[in-house]
Amino acid sequence: MAGVEIHKSQKQDTFEGVDFLDLDDLLTEEHQLIRSSIRDFVKKEISPYIEDWAQKSHFPEEIVKKFGEVGAFGPQIPEEYGGGGLDYISYGLIMQEIERGDSGMRSTASVQGSLVMYPIYKFGSEEQRKKYLPKLASGEMLGCFGLTEPDHGSNPSGMVTNFKDMGDHYLLNGTKMWISNSPKADIAVVWAKNEEGRIHGLIVERGMEGFSTPETHNKWSLRASCTGELVFDNVKVPKENLLPGKSGLGAPLMCLDSARFGIAWGVIGAAMDCYESARKYAAERIQFGKPIAGFQLTQKKLSEMLTEITKAQLLAWKVGKMMNEGKAKTVHISMAKRNNVEMALNIAREARQIHGGMGITGEYPIMRHMMNLESVITYEGTHDIHLLILGNEITGISAFK
């Protein structure tokens, strides 16, 4: 939205963290320094503007370069390709701090790192890595990930987007929907079936004839993030843009594992923001002659919030440790994503109650987080789908067939 006038909030972001069990003992000094630098970035570059961005449904394009400068894009990608060369706990902490600012902002960063840079690094050729990864890491380029289709969300194997071998190029046709970053993306990592029905990844560049990215309007959620479609009408894709390293549905699902891990950490940040806002408001709001923080039901809400945040922190940290050791499986990540998003959404709803009528206004972050989390609980594997992934692991019987 060019020409949108954005007003800076006069409210100071004074967040200092939520750590009831001294979980910082589990983090290295480097982890804490990384978290601190991203927290400072959020306080300066996101918190003063996010309510206005969300109210005006404005995606701040300038944030892309700033994310690149602070190392938020692909922190787990090796340094030789422009990434941070960091471990998965560092990646999780970065997502946590950004999502405390806003889920839409974290979506922008996690799509770039886990769904665009990761597949190019993991499945791409050396030429593709050198061509795209440094520009994506710096924020010079913005990317998106095309898997979901209008009729195929939870069942991506049913996709109809396809490409044909035309000798010197591929011809790509189809439509993808609910794609974060798409309206502003320079490239799209697109998953499509070849003539044998095998799923492959292709890198599609803006400007290729027949490729368009219509924007999705009138969202009540993730309003500071840009969302759209990917439409392919006989798009000629050079053969060197095929990701050669892996084919089949397992390839995009590996990318989603990385992104879901980031979500499991990110939503802790949203929950922390809601909790801290509720705690402070309860101490200031006077009813019946005393702060509402002195009433039993308010204390119950705050106590349960803190307990659930702490449990989510432990779960995310343990899965992060397993990721670093190469031991984490899809089912572990599904448990963390599902549990932690539900936790954050419940906390947002309880925090709204504590804020009373003020909780629905832009004076506080609660309603914005709540609306955002309604998307987060659905995207990258719905709440119920993750339940059934765990159910399959427990019983050995798939509920999808």
Considering the domain 250-395 in this protein, what is its CATH number?
A: 1.20.140.10
316 has a pLDDT exceeding 90: yes
CA–CA separation, 100 and 266 (whole Å): 7
The pLDDT confidence band at residue 322, using thresholds 50, 70 and 90, is very high
76 has a pLDDT exceeding 80: yes
Q: Report the top-level CATH class of 23-138.
A: mainly alpha
Considering the domain 143-247 in this protein, what is its CATH number?
A: 2.40.110.10
pLDDT in tens, 333-356: 999 999 999 999 999 999 999 999
Tell me what pLDDT residue 2 has.
54
CA–CA separation, 235 and 206 (whole Å): 11
Calculate ∠ Cα 175-146-133, nearest 5°.
140
Q: Is 23-138's fold the same as 143-247's?
A: no
3-state secondary structure of 89: helix
**Across residues 355-366, what is the average pLDDT?**
96
**Chain position carrying tokens 């309206």:** 183
C-alpha pair distances (Å), 111 with each of 6, 45, 119, 398: 25, 19, 11, 29
3-state secondary structure of 228: strand
Domain segments of the chain: what residues?
23-138, 143-247, 250-395
The answer to whether 37 touches 70, Cβ cutoff 8 Å, is yes
pLDDT in tens, 91-126: 999 999 999 999 999 999 999 999 999 999 999 999
- So which residues are the catalytic ones? 380
Cα 224 off chain centre by = 13
CA–CA separation, 226 and 224 (whole Å): 7
Hey, how many other C-beta atoms are within 10 angstroms of the C-beta on 227?
24
